[in-house]
Amino acid sequence: MKKFIFTILFTIITIVSFSQIRVYNRTSMDYDDVLCTLQDNRIYKCNSTDYDDIICNIDGDRIYKGASSNYSDILFTIDRNRAYWGSDKCYSKIYMNIVNNKVYRGTSNDYDDIIATIHNKRIYEGTSKDYDDISFTTSGGNISFEEFVAIWYAINH
């Protein structure tokens, strides 16, 4: 019985430790259409999980360039559903914010400044929820705001 419980526990730990979220182009779920991969708080190019292919990494409320964790390599600081450029939490450095699954440009909460809509693991262009307006689709589990910002950066920069 102990061996059985140990085997189940080991299997669960293995699955959790190797879990990935893949980000696919538009509506595709094909291996060749993977834009980036999220694993262990790192965003990798396409299907890779090689150290050399790290686009950015997440450490707490900060997103760093590549595999770095240096203060000078901070891309974004996250605070209360706002992503700030760099390490400062200045109002003027807000890159994006999310309210009710709508992604707004900068400091705005104006309808005209919605750059994306998040719905059912799909990210739509602007305010749309039309199938033809899907920018990218995620597989796997739910993603945090920090992970979303890192994925958005990886795809758009």
d(CA 104, CA 97): 5
Cβ(46)–Cβ(37) under 8 Å? yes
Query: Tens digit of pLDDT for each residue in 70-98?
Result: 999 999 999 999 999 999 999 999 999 99
**pLDDT at residue 15 is higher than 60:** no
Query: Tens digit of pLDDT for each residue in 22-40?
Result: 999 999 999 999 999 999 9
**pLDDT at residue 4 is higher than 60:** no
What per-residue confidence (pLDDT) applies to 11? 44
Neighbour-count burial for 132-150, b at 16+ CB within 10 Å, e otherwise:
ebbbbbbeeeebebbbbbb
What per-residue confidence (pLDDT) applies to 1? 54
| All domains of the chain in start order, with CATH | 20-156 (2.40.160)
**pLDDT at residue 120 is higher than 50:** yes
